[in-house]
Structures are given as structure tokens and as C-alpha cells.
Chains A and B, each alone.
Chain A
Amino acid sequence: GAGVSQSPRYKVAKRGQDVALRCDPISGHVSLFWYQQALGQGPEFLTYFQNEAQLDKSGLPSDRFFAERPEGSVSTLKIQRTQQEDSAVYLCASSLQGRNQPQHFGDGTRLSIL
């Protein structure tokens, strides 16, 4: 389909390992967002890209979290030296540029750190 695509759907890693989560936004969507959703909570903002520029990374919880979107399309969220508290669903969303444009979400990656 033409929606936001995320991979992998599920990821299990041992504490201390590095992980990389991928997001393929809707074609033509300039804006891309990453959110973290803990069980029973609403999604929490992590970072925002407009094309390849990372304009807001205020939600990244620590310097172990890093996101990039080098060509303004696919984005990768990397978590280094994972900790158990990183276990969550990571959601990617994309939208057209501009105010009031709704964001469209991918299925998310469910990350479990053992």
C-alpha cells in the first residue's frame, strides 16, 4: 500500500546491544516524526524532520538515541547500548508540510530489551 511503512515489526535485543529502526514515509510527505509509546500511554514525541533537516530533537530521551533522514525520505532511528527502559513501541508518522496537516502513522516497531 501507500502508507507509512516501518520495519522490523518486532525487535528483541539484549541489554547493551545497538538497534536500528526504519521508517519509509508516504511518498511526497515532507515532514517525518518519531514517537515512543509505552504501554497504556499516548505516544510521546521524539524528533521531527523536514526533508533531511532534523528541526526538533527535543524529545530524544538521551544521547543514546540518534535519528537521521539523509536523503529526505527514509529515516532510521538508532538506539545505542539499549536499556530495559527503552522497551516500547516506536511509531513513525509523516505528513505534508504545513500547519493543520494530519499525521499518518506506520504500524510501529515493538522493541523489547531483555
Chain B
Amino acid sequence: RKEVEQDPGPFNVPEGATVAFNCTYSNSASQSFFWYRQDCRKEPKLLMSVYSSGNEDGRFTAQLNRASQYISLLIRDSKLSDSATYLCVGGDSGTYKYIFGTGTRLKVLA
């Protein structure tokens, strides 16, 4: 079993829809969590950090559930430009290395 697991998708949603991704992690010692966005043939770019209290940045909301060991990303009012792969990341508490999920592909359709 991978340390960080995501549904690879693809999720095909119409423009304006709300879409949610979940990600589970197995290492209870993981301290930090992030969502990264990766466009085709590009580098991962930080979308947002994930805090225990939950956090929101515009149309994006991230939440962390330590008891159930999952994090989520909610995208409201999807835009065509949101089409990308979304990578869930758990940060190792010792070395700070990232453990990535395989990514969830999102395609927003006109």
C-alpha cells in the first residue's frame, strides 16, 4: 500500500461545477500536508498548504482530518483553466521530504 493514495481519475466535470478530491495517508507521523497542481509536462506548483483547521483560498478549500488520516480539496465554480493533475503531498516529519500521491487528473469541460 502506498503511503499517500489518491484516486487517479480522470474527473471530467462541466464548467461551473464543484468537485472534490480526497487523499488518504498511512503515516500517522506526517506533520505537513500540501496540494500541488501539475500541468502536462510542467513542474508541480504549490496550490495550497493544508492546516488542521481547514483553509480556503478563493475557490479552493483544503481540509485535514487527522483522525481518519485524509485530506481533501474542494474546487468551487470550476474553470477551464483548472484542468490539471492535483497532487496530494504528505511531509515527512523528520527529513521534510515529500511523499506524493499519484495525482488526480481533472478535466473541466466547456
Contacts and interface: CB of A to CB of B under 8 A. Distances in A.
Interface of A: 31, 33, 35, 40-45, 48, 55-56, 59, 91, 93, 95, 98-108
Interface in B22-70: 31-32, 34, 42-46, 49
B49 A102 contact: yes
A33 B46 contact: no
Contacts of B87: 42-43
Contacts, number: 58
A41 B99 CA distance: 12
Contacts of A98: 96
**Which range contains the number of B residues in contact with the other chain?**
20 to 34
B52 to A, nearest CB: 11
Interface in B56-110: 87, 91, 93, 95-103
Contacts of A48: 95-97
Contacts of B44: 43, 91, 105
A105 B97 CA distance: 13
A55 B95 contact: yes
B96 A107 contact: no
A105 B34 contact: no
A56 B97 contact: yes
Contacts of A99: 31-32, 91, 93, 96
